[in-house]
Each structure stands twice: as C-alpha cells, then as structure tokens.
Amino acid sequence: MVQAKSWVLVKHFDGFPKDSDFAIKVEELPEPKDGEVLLEAIFLSVDPYMRLFSKMHMKEGDVMIGTQLAKVIQSKNSAFPVGSHVVTSCGWTTHSISDGKELTPVMADWPEDVSLSLALGAIGMPGLTGLYGIEEVLGLKEGETLLVNAAAGAVGSVVGQIAKIKGCKVVGSAGSEAKVAFLKELGFDEAFNYKTITSLEEALRKASPDGYHCFFDNVGGDFSNVALEQMKHFGRVALCGSISVYNDSFPQTGIFPHTTINHKELKIQGFWDTQWKHKDGESLKRLMAWCKQGKLQCREHVTKGFENMPAAFMGMLRGDNIGKAIVAV
C-alpha cells in the first residue's frame, strides 16, 4: 500500500490565489491491477494555465490540475517497465495509478547529463509552445524583428532563443533587472524591465524604431494594446496567453484595438500547443539538439518539496521565476 498526498483546491480562487485556497489530502492507493502502473512524482510543473483552467475545468475539492515527471515504481503494463519515466497529467499528487493511456514516455535516449525536469520545460510543453508559436503561427523569417513579453519565463525564454537561431532581431520585456540581464545573456538584442520604464510606448519604439514584424504575446491586457500600435503593416501576432488578466475577479476593460488591427491589416492567432501534437516527437528532438549544442539555454527555477507546491505556484504567478518554474519532490 502506498500513501498518495495530493493538493486540492478547497475554494475557487478569488483574485490572486492564497494559502487557504489549497489543502493536502492523503489517501491509500490500491495495488495496480493488470495493465496498470504505480507512479511516483519526481518533478512537478507549476504553470499559468492552472490559474486560468481552475475557473473553467475544476470544482472545489478537486485535485489541482497539472503535469509531472514521474517514475514507474510498480508495473503490470509491459509498455511501462519499472524504473522508466513518463510525463503524466495526474495533477498535484505524489503517487498515482494509471492504465497507461494518457502517459507519455520521456524521449528515448534522453541524455544522462540533461535533467529529466526539462521534459516539463524547454524540452516539453513550454518549449513546444514556443516552437509552434514561431514556426506554425508566426512563420517567422530571417531578418524579421520579433517582440516577446514575459520573456524570461518558460515559454518566453525559448521563444527569444529560437528567434535568434532563425537570424531575427529579438526584443524582450520582463519584470526585473535580473531578468533583463538574463535576456541579454541569452542573446536578446534589446530587453527592458516593463515595471520600471516610464512609458511602454517609448520603450518599444526605442528598442525597434521601425516597428515589429511579429509579436509573441504571453501577457495580453494593456501591454498588448500598446504593442499592437507598433506592429508593422501586415504584422503577425501569436496570442499564446494573457497572464495579466488571469487573476482578475472582474474582466478588465481597456481601449478597443480593432481599428488598429484593421488599419494595419494585422493577423492575430490564438493557439494551443496541442494543435501540432502529431509533430511533438520530431520537435522535441530538435529542442534537445539545440540544448545539447548550447544554442538553447534551459534555465529553471526549482522549489524543493511537494509541501511547497502552492508557494511555488503563487511565486510563478508573481514573477519570482527566471526560466521554468518546477517543484522537485
């Protein structure tokens, strides 16, 4: 018998999440039946979508949604032998039983000197999101100028680096001086702290006086409205996320950007990485190759201890992380 600890959503978030919204539940798991495996979490991911999807897909008392990198510790399914590693969407839990249907084995021949935690980051969902946003949504071309916000985070840091690999000029914004220094280290051409500038319009114009061909938008809200004004004619926007509004209890109202979009003939596409799931195998190999060649730096912000999941999640929403926010059990 194994005891599984899980974090549940006690109460739907009202505004920014707080400690009392979460509670630990402990339950005994039965032995795996034929076809099943018992999994033990090694690394868990904390991501912005958990805040967004909690409103849409969860009810109070549910285990917090999420993915983790887990090890198979008992197996009655020959596809997943004991000791193998998988990515699973079983939520914020230390142990779980699976029939294998929703498990993704980590890439075969994962190099020993690369942390398996990257399967939740640059060589996992956030990396794929950056890659698909650039290639499938924006169709970014050599010589173009790209703007990315939340640029020092899991998705943003990959986006900027892939754009550099493709020979583009990259402008990034992030929320601290340490993050701006990190973006410079990654090779961003221009980077600024959106929290200390006096005018976003001026900062964007200074970084690229001729405007932007492409905008990879992770933030939404006011930032997007200002950035759209500085797109070039026929500019393209990949709407990846809108973290600036996820914690709102009431929808924000702002200027309406439709005349700008119309006038500049902009193309704006919202997307989820899952649209290109059929390409994941080949895409993960490319991300791993860039990582091994030193072209893709995969920084992580690791919080130790399963008991610190809520703190890690709230810290990520607050902007504590440089790179991918991860919890190591």
Ligand X SMILES: NC(=O)c1ccc[n+]([C@@H]2O[C@H](COP(=O)([O-])OP(=O)(O)OC[C@H]3O[C@@H](n4cnc5c(N)ncnc54)[C@H](OP(=O)(O)O)[C@@H]3O)[C@@H](O)[C@H]2O)c1
Strand-pairing partners, residue 28, are 3
CB closer to ligand X, 80 vs 216: 216
Q: What is the DSSP secondary structure assignment for residue 21, as one 8-state letter?
A: G
Q: Helix 125-132 crosses helix 280-292 at what angle (to 10 degrees)?
A: 100
Q: Give min distance, CB of 256 to ligand X, in A.
A: 20
Longest Cα separation, the chain: 64
Q: Give min distance, CB of 299 to ligand X, in A.
A: 10
The H-or-E segment that residue 6 falls in is strand 2-9
Q: Give min distance, CB of 172 to ligand X, in A.
A: 9
Q: Give min distance, CB of 35 to ligand X, in A.
A: 31
Q: Give min distance, CB of 293 to ligand X, in A.
A: 22
CB closer to ligand X, 75 vs 283: 283
CA gap 263, 100 in Å, rounded:
51
CB closer to ligand X, 45 vs 96: 45
Q: How many CA atoms lie within 13 A of 271 on its CB side?
A: 26
CB closer to ligand X, 129 vs 230: 129
Q: How many CA atoms lie within 13 A of 71 on its CB side?
A: 10
| Residues contributing to the site for ligand X (CB under 6 A) | 47-49, 126, 129, 150, 152-156, 174-176, 179, 218-219, 240-244, 271-273, 316-317, 319, 321, 325
From residue 177, how far is each of 146, 225, 306 by CA, in Å?
Answer: 21, 24, 29
CA gap 134, 124 in Å, rounded:
16
Q: Give min distance, CB of 281 to ligand X, in A.
A: 18
Q: Helix 154-165 crosses helix 125-132 at what angle (to 10 degrees)?
A: 50
CB closer to ligand X, 2 vs 140: 140
CB closer to ligand X, 37 vs 243: 243
